[in-house]
Amino acid sequence: MGRAAISSTNSQFVFPRWANYLLPGLLLALAVAVIYVPVVVGYGLAPQALAVGYRPIQPVPYSHALHAGELGIDCRYCHNTVDKAPFAALPPTQTCMNCHSMIKTDSPKLALVRQSYATGMPIHWIRVHDLAGYVYFNHAIHVNKGIGCVTCHGRVDKMDVVAQVKPLSMGWCLDCHRAPEKYLRPRDQVTNMTWDPVADAGKDQLTLGLELKRKYNIPDATFMTSCSTCHR
């Protein structure tokens, strides 16, 4: 006797055969969700997705690739407070005019710079690297203890328009605060964008890093990862 006959004679409901898929299908969907949801949340909400790659259009098309890269102007020529103050200052328009009062004096790209110089109104540069308000960050201590610009800002000397290339997240900060030897370099190489421990110091990074950590009196991980070191 076929199943169709049963359902037609008795008004009893019989699950169709595909209903057998429901339970294994549900289990399978659950198993996929257990992997899928953390992947989407983890990767989607990570700073690498949300923060990295911020590249605002600046009011003046200033190219770091030309000035810092091709011409080799030191970072500190313009950001001259970086080794003395918490904030690596943006240069005043005067600094631009050091050269541009004589070079490219008619360039339309520099119209805003000339206007700013003439009127005293600042150029509204857009900040790229912006930490959360509850983070205390001091450029001077990092630069003076041998953390290179390139370590946190990437190859700015190759960027026509500056972009954020590192997550600037707490986990990322702690990676270095737990083991600064992974990134330390001699103080006089801080602004060198192409410094390499093996090629320039003849040592591998960890050996040199541990030496510099002692030499520059860098505190141990207990202090470096204490809450109040960065949240004060």
Partner 1 sequence: MSGYQDEKLPIPTPRRLKKEFLLPGLPSPAKRILAILAALALVPLVLIWHARVSYTTEPRIQLMQDMGVQPRYGPQAPSPVYADGRAMRLPVAGTVARETYAPDDHFDRGYRLVKDPKTGQWKVDFFTDLPPQVAMSHWTLNRGRTVFNIYCAVCHGLDARGDGMINQRATELQEPKWIPPANLTQIDPQTGQLQFGPQEYPDGKLFNTITHGIRNMPAYGPQIETADRWAVVAYVRALQLAQHATLDDVPSEQRGNLR
> Rounded to whole angstroms, how far apart are CA atoms 162 and 15?
63
34 versus 49: smaller Cβ distance to partner 1: 49
The minimum distance between CB 51 and partner 1, in angstroms, equals: 4
53 versus 198: smaller Cβ distance to partner 1: 53
- 94 binding partner 1? (CB under 8 A): yes
Q: Which residue in 57, 118, 199, 227 binds partner 1 (CB under 8 A)?
A: 57
What DSSP state is assigned to residue 13? -
Q: Which residue in 26, 36, 215, 226 binds partner 1 (CB under 8 A)?
A: 36
| Chain Cα centroid distance, residue 211 | 27
82 versus 147: smaller Cβ distance to partner 1: 82
- 18 binding partner 1? (CB under 8 A): yes
Residue 169: other Cβ atoms inside 10 A? 17
- 216 binding partner 1? (CB under 8 A): no
Q: Which residue in 17, 30, 217, 232 binds partner 1 (CB under 8 A)?
A: 17
- Cβ distance 58 to 125 under 8 Å? yes
Reduced to 3 states (helix: H, G, I; strand: E, B; else coil), residue 184 is: strand
Provide the Cα torsion 207, 213, 83, 159; round to 10°: 30
